[in-house]
Structure 1
Amino acid sequence: MWRRTFTSATALKDKKWDALIIGGGHNGLTAAAYLARGGLSVAVTEELVPGFKFSRCSYLQSLLRPSVMNELELGSKHGLKLLRSNPLSFTPCLDGRYLLLGTDKHLNHSEISKFSQKDAEAYPRDFLDLLLSPVSKVLNNWFEADVLKATLASDAVIGSTASVHAPGSGYVLLHHVMGESDGDRGVWSFVEGGMGSISKAIGSAAAEAGAHVVTNAEVSQLLIENSSTVRGVILADGTEVHSSVVLSNATPYKTFMELVPSNVLPDDFVRAIKHSDYSSATTKINIAVDKLPQFQCCKLNHPHDGPQHVGSIRIGFESMEEIHSACQDAMNGVPSRRPFIEMTIPSVLDKTISPPGKHVINLFVQYTPYKPLDGDWQDHDYRESFAQKCFTLVDEYAPGFSSSILGFDMLTPPDLEREIGLTGGNIFHGAMGLDSLFLMRPVKGWSNYKTPLKGLYLCGSGAHPGGGVMGAPGRNAAHLVLQEVRKTT
């Protein structure tokens, strides 16, 4: 087994732990691995949330830091296998053309030249201009082909409620392209066995170092002494677990507004956390199909899987204005009439997740408001109608897609909040705008993983440097805790 578990969570109360970690996602387990390797006794509490294996939320890997991969020996020792996707993206067009982009400079030049020779020459350039500007402003200055600008701009609004015209949207694009896979910058990869294999490998490294991972052990409240110091946690079954160090991989809102007792934190800190932006417009649809989608714009002589199936497939938008229009629908309180869809087909590269000849397809869909004005996500018919709208849109580019569907699972923003613990359904544990990055994450004055409560630390995506499957917040928080512990011993 990759993890060491107790038969009962009550076994946790038999000792005082050096550190407790709330939430066993990739950042929580990363923190556990580093703390255990540093000699601390560590416990991680985790609430667990035929034929096909789905990555229910995250779906591609690029941001996992090389330091975490190497230091925890995730690939060499703990079975993590990355399956690189190249080409990286495929954007079909209704006029019969398409755009493939990848790591090959010659391929990129040839593909972009189909739309603009000028853009093909300008494509390899410095991305620092993106840091502060709306992505639309930068891309309009750089390029002229709508489909190229739309393909690049889509990465600037993934997981957000923002338009391509929003100030700072360029940073989110930078955040996505700064990743790497096996040393190559900007390369995304699938993970063999699904994205859960990342947590499995990190959990294996943590268990090997001596960390204890306890499932079905939901934390209901933090134990606080003298309104200022953490002394452990109370589980949902009433069990008290004691430690002078607690790291939370929950969202900042859940940590401070739900787990910390009231009237303990400073009023200005509570206001800042309470009014942070946790809005989301993301819906994830996981689909089992009996055949690959065949895009009518492709005449690539690949009757089965081809380069168009390997990377991220951008569907339903061929200009930045179409992305903006989809966003405006959500700003007006209704799901996008023409949703912006990113499709991935991990089973093309990973044969372990679906039966032979069948496939797993992920649709990352925007924009879907948390509380739509024209219906309710709890209404089965309303949910079904939106899912069918997405499938019909894919049919425009890949006729017959809808008829290939064997079954699907849909997670709207309220589902992501309820089932995964993501406040507002926000996949980054909070918006990644310029007012909530760097020294402002999660709030001004508390960007160094510490909190107003002595012994309580944030180690999740709500801390610097933010969201994505990177492990950096967990690693950084663990190193800080080890420094603090060594000061007192």
Structure 2
Amino acid sequence: MATAASCRKSGRAVKFLTRACSTRAAVKARYDTLVIGGGHNGLVAAAYLQKGGLKTAVLERRHVLGGAAVSEEIFPGFHFSRCSYLLSLLRPHIYNDLELKKHGLKVYARDPHAFTPMLEEGVRGAPPRSLTLGSDLTKNQEEISKFSQKDARVYKDFVIYLENLADAIQPLLDATPVNIPALTTGSPWKRLAATKTLLPVIKCGLTLGRNIPDFYNIVTAPALKILNQWFESEPLRATLATDAVIGAMTSPSNPGSGYVLLHHVMGGLEDEKGAWGYVEGGMGGVSKAIANAASSYGVDIFTEKEVDQVLIDSNGAAKGVVLKDGTEINSKVVLSNATPYITYKKLTPQSALPPEFIKAVDQIDYTSPVTKINVALDKLPNFLAAPTPDNKPGPHHQCSIHLNCESVDVLETAYKEALNGRPSSRPMLEMTIPSVLDHTLAPPGCHVVSLFTQYTPYYVEGREWTDQDKESFADTAFEWIEQYAPGFKSSVVGRDILTPPDLERIFGLTGGNIFHASMSLDQLYLARPLPSLSDYRSPIKGLYLCGSGAHPGGGVMGSAGWNAALTAMSDIKSF
């Protein structure tokens, strides 16, 4: 195991990457199904396709499996969830069906969940105030009462309000959106078959009941409007608002941000709704467990097999793929875990697609505000608001630590700067320190930190990011952290800065968007990724979209992969 001292000597330029093992067997010339991309959705799809009796192969471009849910050893001895960094939204039936616990998935639950320290002078020598939220309602109310007695009283009702709405729409997550074309223009048989797609909507409506107006409100309204209806204290509103904008180029005052807030409370861990946890070994542990399950069923999984193009037969149907090295692999169907843009603009022959479809694909919004910074530290951050000078973690160290979240105005200002093409001068920072709970990630006494930062544009004032721009933004973020936790900068062993173009280049996330397309109202459910294409199928027979660009969207859920696999298996029966 590397020591902090040895890591310091190695410097930031050295990178050691953790490789995932792929199938040792050679790629066959033909499979029943091919999955492009070894992200978590692609692996889920492959597992279910193989379980359904279809010989399946996964073809991953990178040297490591997982897509955005990946673990990498960026500095010697320090293992990071390099992109995605928390688990909550994984669908329970997938977890159980694939026996992921048996296949190595271990999750560390966090309690408390959120810590928001203030930048202020403490009263009579006391530390600055902070807001800590967890699973204990009484403790939450005590924390909130530091800022507002009224907010403390209504907080329980707010949690119930969100949980009820999230519970009601669960059936929609595990079902293909309503098949409008089949219902309206299909043959009598197709119309009858398509009525099945209405059942989840009906169930959702019945569960919502009198809460339908509340659901409509949260889906369409700005998150700030929702939060203002409940709360008056700035730290609480700003802390909750982070879930409404995380990963999205939007502000809490923009319509639709309420849905993003709801999306992030749809999951849970074990019996605790809305909880998020750390995967042992990093988020690659999720992908590894799914890959292990898929391999146990007989899926062939290959890394460093980059697909160049989807092969189309004389009838206009997908018949396999050709790799970058020229190898052709035939199959009955092809599922793409890539973004809609990569799938339909880069991998699919343009002559095989209708011009109006290509034009629509060009209009999909991939705007991203995110720069992810992975940091190796030789000691734990010591926050002024919750001092731990002995380098031993306090409960707050296991949280999502919200910095520059004292008020919604701070978030709004950061957003407006990025809209004008400038990285935020006071960025919203979500810090997590998974090594506090998972000691496999760093050398003894050292820690790994994930900084999920907003807002940064794809272009800096109209030009591409330079290395100097990246270092300057990271310096800005670190200067702010230093104000909350003096000594942070001197503890840094190394840092890995991933701007939106970096996230696009490394992980194939078009625009750097972690959701494979913005989670805006015009790109959800029936319109994800397009109003004409929300059932995982494409204009090309036998080509399916199985990634987060399809319904129900982003996050490590697995639903898109599962739904796409079921759709493909159903279609194959009629081929």
Query: Could you state the TM-score of these two structures normalised by the residue count of structure 2?
Result: 0.82
1:70 corresponds to:
96
Gaps of 5+ in 2: 1-18, 64-75, 121-127, 163-214
Structure 2 counterpart of 1:60 = 86
Given the alignment, which residue of 238, 254, 258 partners 2:346? 258
**Alignment length, in residue pairs?**
482
Q: 1:36 to 1:63 in 2, by over 3 A?
A: same
3-state secondary structure, aligned to 2:220:
coil
Q: Pick one of 441, 445, 455 that aligns with 2:532.
A: 445
Deviations 1:246-265 (A, max 9, x none): 00000000000110111221
Alignment equivalent of 2:60, drawn from 37, 42, 46: 46
Assess if the C-alpha contact under 8 Å between 1:252 and 1:273 holds in 2: yes
Question: How many Å apart are 1:233 and its aligned residue?
Answer: 0.5
Check if 1:387 corresponds to 2:474.
yes
Task: State yes or no: 1:87 paired with 2:112.
Answer: yes
Residue in structure 1 matched with residue 503 of structure 2 by the alignment: 416
Per the alignment, residue 314 of structure 1 pairs with: 402
Q: Is structure 2 residue 262 aligned with structure 1 residue 174? A: yes
Name the residue aligned to 1:5.
23
Whole-Å Cα distance in 2 between the matches of residues 476 and 185 of structure 1?
A: 23
Distance 1:94 1:74, change over 3 A: same
For 1:339 and 1:67, the matched residues in 2 are separated by 37
**Counterpart for residue 449 of structure 2:** 361
How far residue 482 of structure 1 moved from its aligned partner, in angstroms, is 1.7
- Between the aligned partners of 2:438 and 2:47, the Cα distance in structure 1 is 27
Aligned to 2:238: 150
Structure 1's 39 and 291: CA in aligned 2 closer, same or farther, altered over 3 A? same
Aligned residue for 1:406, secondary structure, equals strand
1:137 equivalent in alignment to 2:225:
yes
CA offset at residue 487 of structure 1? 3.8
Q: Corresponding residue for 1:287?
A: 375
User: What secondary structure, in the 3-state scheme, does the structure 2 residue paired with 1:177 have?
Assistant: coil
CA contact (8 A) 1:51 1:354 kept: yes
| Partner secondary structure for residue 63 of structure 1 | coil
Q: Tell me, yes or no, if structure 1 residue 105 matches structure 2 residue 137.
A: yes
Give yes or no for contact 1:4–1:207 (8 Å, CA) kept in 2.
no
43-52 vs 24-33, which deviates more? 43-52
Alignment equivalent of 1:228, drawn from 316, 322, 329? 316
Q: Secondary structure at the match of 1:243?
A: strand
Q: CA deviation at 1:303?
A: 5.5
> Is residue 330 from structure 1 mapped to residue 418 from structure 2 by the alignment?
yes
Question: 1:228: how far off?
Answer: 2.3
Q: 1:132 offset after TM fit, Å?
A: 1.4
CA contact (8 A) 2:145 2:151 kept: yes
CA shift digits 1:203-238 (9 cap, x unpaired) = 000000000001110001110123621011010001
Task: Please name the residue that 2:182 is paired with.
Answer: none
Shift of 1:376: 3.8
Distance in 2 separating the partners of 1:314 and 1:322: 12
Partner of 2:401: helix, strand, or coil?
strand
RMSD: 1.5
**Residue of structure 2 equivalent to 1:470:** 557
Alpha-carbon offset, residue 3 of structure 1? 5.7
**Aligned match of 2:51 in 8, 16, 37?**
37
Distance 1:170 1:227, change over 3 A: farther
**Further displaced range: 180-189 or 17-26:** 180-189
> 4+ runs of 1 displaced by more than 3 Å?
1-4, 299-303
> For the residues of structure 1 that align with 2:80 and 2:53, how far apart are their CA atoms?
35
Q: How far apart, CA to CA, are the structure 2 residues paired with 1:475 and 1:74?
A: 15
Which of the numbers 320, 330, 352 marks the counterpart of 1:242?
330
2:194 paired residue number? none
Please tell me the residue identity of whatever aligns with 2:545. Answer: L
Counterpart contact for 1:178–1:185, Cα < 8 Å: yes
More deviation, 122-131/247-256 = 122-131
Q: Which deviations, in whole Å up to 9, do the C-alpha atoms of 1:351-393 show, x marking residues without a partner?
A: 001001000000001111001117642x222211111111001
Which shows bigger deviation, 27-36 or 43-52? 43-52
1:212 equivalent in structure 2: 300
Residue 184 of structure 1 deviates from its aligned partner by 1.7
Relative to 1, partners in 2 of residues 1:21 and 1:359: Cα closer, same or farther, differing over 3 Å?
same
Cα shift at 1:7: 5.6
> 1:259-312: CA deviations, max 9, x gaps?
011122122221111111011110000000011101101258985101110110
Q: Which runs of 5+ in 1 are unaligned?
A: none
Q: Quick one: distance in 2 between partners of 1:426 and 1:232? A: 28
Q: Is the 8 A contact 2:515 2:548 kept in 1?
A: yes
SS at match of 1:131: helix
SS of corresponding position for 2:560: helix
SS at match of 1:123: helix
Cα offset for 1:2? 8.2
2:266/2:274 contact within 8 Å kept: yes
Q: Is the 8 A contact 1:37 1:209 kept in 2?
A: yes
- State the one-letter code of the partner of 2:522: D
Indicate conservation of the 8 Å contact 2:379/2:391, yes or no.
no
Whether the aligned pair in 2 keeps the contact of 1:376 and 1:382 (CA below 8 Å) is no
Instruction: Read off the aligned partner of 2:141 and give its amino acid letter.
Output: H
Aligned counterpart, 1:17 = 31
Cα distance change of structure 1 residues 2 and 380 upon mapping to structure 2, 3 Å threshold: closer
CA contact (8 A) 1:47 1:217 kept: yes
Q: Distance in 2 between matches of 1:248 and 1:416?
A: 19
Residue identity opposite 1:368 in structure 2: T
Distance across 2 between alignment mates of 1:405 and 1:455: 50
More helix by share: 2
Report which stretch shifted further, 123-132 or 54-63. 123-132
CA spacing shift, 1:305–1:359, aligned 2, 3 Å: same
Q: Is this contact kept in 1: 2:382–2:388, CA < 8 A?
A: no
Question: 2:255 & 2:356 partners in 1: Cα distance?
Answer: 26
Contact 1:2 1:201 in 2 (8 A): no
Q: Report the Cα distance in structure 2 between the residues aligned to 1:444 and 1:346, rounded to whole angstroms.
A: 39
1:479 Cα deviation from its structure 2 partner: 1.3
Q: Is the 8 A contact 1:3 1:204 kept in 2?
A: no
Structure 2: distance between partners of 1:43 and 1:151: 43
Which amino acid is the alignment partner of residue 5 of structure 1?
A: T
Where 2:79 maps in the other structure, the secondary structure is coil
Residue 434 of structure 1 and its aligned partner are, at CA, apart by 0.4
C-alpha contact 2:133 2:140 (8 A) present in aligned 1: yes
